């Protein structure tokens, strides 16, 4: 009988170690395949955060230099910030107005007012390592970004930008 109980304890210990190993492998695998970036929007005049409201469609993101889905959407997370999940192989992103039809009420200040169609690209590696504050072409207000975060200044559209095209 002692041999059987010793064998069953050994078998249970091996199964337990196998389950622990599988859990660790799954966690490390998911950490390697996806990165999360926080997008913080600040009012260019006041520096106050632009808080997403219920019903916001998300921020449109174009992925550069990648063979994966070229368009993604950042969504609001539990902390009320925009969060973007990216595959590990994505190197650069362009971030634009929220996805979906209809007006949103803000214009990004990171590109020239005269060339709004030429969106700048941002390095995912730099965002994750240092954080990035996008240029503020609306005024001279500054901000600080944490690693894994990109900060944009936004403003209300002028009357010409509100006109239907």
Per residue in 57-66, pLDDT tens? 667 777 765 4
Measured distance CA(121)–CA(39) in Å, rounded: 14
Residue 44 within any structural domain of the chain:
yes
Residue 7 within any structural domain of the chain:
no
Residue 5 within any structural domain of the chain:
no
Residue 146 within any structural domain of the chain:
yes
Q: What is the pLDDT of residue 100?
A: 45
Range of the domain at 73: 34-162
Hey, how many other C-beta atoms are within 10 angstroms of the C-beta on 38?
20
Residue 145 within any structural domain of the chain:
yes
Residue 70 within any structural domain of the chain:
yes
Q: Does the reported pTM lie above 0.75?
A: no
Measured distance CA(67)–CA(118) in Å, rounded: 21
152: tokens are 């944009």
149: domain CATH number is 2.60.40.1120
Q: Give the DSSP per-residue string, the chain.
A: -HHHHHHHHHHHHHHHHHHHHHHHHHHHHHHHHEEEEEEEEEETTT--B----TT---EEEEEES-SS-SEEEEEE-TTSSEEEEEETT--EEEEEEESSSS--S-EESSS-TT-TTSPPPEEHHHHHHT-EE---SSSS------TTEEEEEEE---HHHHS--
Q: What is the largest CA-CA distance in the chain?
A: 88
Task: Identify the residue whose tokens are 């936004």.
Answer: 154
Tens digits of residue pLDDT in 121-153: 889 999 999 999 998 888 888 999 999 999 989
Residue 100 within any structural domain of the chain:
yes
160: tokens are 């010409």
Residue 157 within any structural domain of the chain:
yes
Nearest C-alpha neighbor of 86 from the set 130, 42, 32 = 32
φ, ψ of residue 53 to 5 degrees: the values are -110, 160
Q: What is the pLDDT of residue 20?
A: 74
Domain total for the chain? 1
Tens digits of residue pLDDT in 4-49: 555 577 777 777 777 777 777 665 554 456 788 998 889 888 888 8
């Amino acid at each position: 009988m002692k041999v059987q109980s010793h064998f069953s304890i050994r078998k249970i210990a091996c199964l337990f170690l196998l389950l622990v190993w599988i859990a660790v492998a799954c966690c490390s695998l998911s950490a390697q395949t996806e990165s999360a970036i926080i997008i913080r929007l600040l009012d260019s005049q006041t520096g106050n955060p632009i808080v997403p409201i219920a019903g916001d469609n998300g921020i449109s993101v174009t992925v550069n230099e990648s063979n994966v889905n070229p368009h993604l959407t950042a969504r609001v997370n539990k902390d009320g910030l925009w969060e973007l999940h990216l595959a590990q192989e994505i190197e650069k992103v362009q971030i634009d107005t929220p996805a979906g039809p209809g007006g949103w009420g803000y214009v990004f200040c990171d590109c020239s007012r005269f060339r709004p169609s030429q969106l700048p690209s941002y390095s995912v590696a730099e965002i994750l390592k240092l954080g990035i504050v996008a240029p503020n072409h609306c005024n001279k207000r500054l901000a600080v970004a944490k690693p894994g975060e990109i900060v944009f200044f936004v403003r209300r559209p002028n009357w010409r930008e509100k006109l239907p095209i």
